[in-house]
Amino acid sequence: ILAIIAILIVLTPVFASKNMVIEDITPVGMNRHLRITLSKEGKIFSGMLFSVSPEEFWLNVGDEVDVAFNLETNEFLGNISLMINIRDICESGRSLQIENQNEAMYQEAKDGVSKLSYEYIVPEREDCAIVYNCLSTKARCGQDIYTYTKLTSDLNQSSQGSCFNYVKVKFIIKIFRELNVISIDEIDERSFSFKLIYGKAKTNLDKSNILKRLRYIYKK
């Protein structure tokens, strides 16, 4: 019997779908597994990722991903639905390409050789306030890890009249870290963790050496 089960597992077809978007991440089974809602071309799919806790999961809502999966049927209260059993999930090749391009633009701006405009690179006080409020809201909801790409996307979806880009957002986080406006720990070059600092006096952003340098290099 065990041999038959092993053969069936091996013969189970594995499918792949590229450029899907994570719509929701829900812990199940006492946080031992994840139910992940995915979308593609207007269609919604529910998938299970087993033996991965929320703390171990490395992706966020809104990320574009490539997924390898098996198809299974799920029956609940007499209703039968198709469920995705996720075998592997990773950031999509298209997303990685965009992230690579954004990181390259940031490095050029940091090195002082960017051809981008002052407005694209140098943050204003209002920009910093919007980012701070966004992080404060997320912290109150229990979120403490962000990628610069996801933060940029969230800011553009929630802010009215403001337009954010990867380069400016990353500089704002660097300024927050420099001035200890928010406790920032860099995970890698594209993501960070953060904690609010309560009771801190209002910070003068003009004291930031990062901001002074950007204003000097890219002055209008």
Residues 174-191 pLDDT 10s: 999 999 999 999 988 888
Are the C-beta atoms of residues 89 and 66 closer than 8 Å to each other? yes
| Measured CA distances, 24 to 12, 13, 107, 188, 214 (Å) | 27, 26, 32, 24, 37
**What are the backbone angles phi and psi of residue 87, rounded to the nearest 5°?**
-95, -30
pLDDT at 219: 86
pTM of the shown model: 0.71
- Span 132-144, average pLDDT: 87
**In which band, very low, low, confident or very high, does the pLDDT at 71 lie, cut at 50, 70 and 90?**
confident
Rounded CA separation 202/220 (Å): 27
pLDDT at 5: 44
Rounded CA separation 80/10 (Å): 25
pLDDT at 201: 73
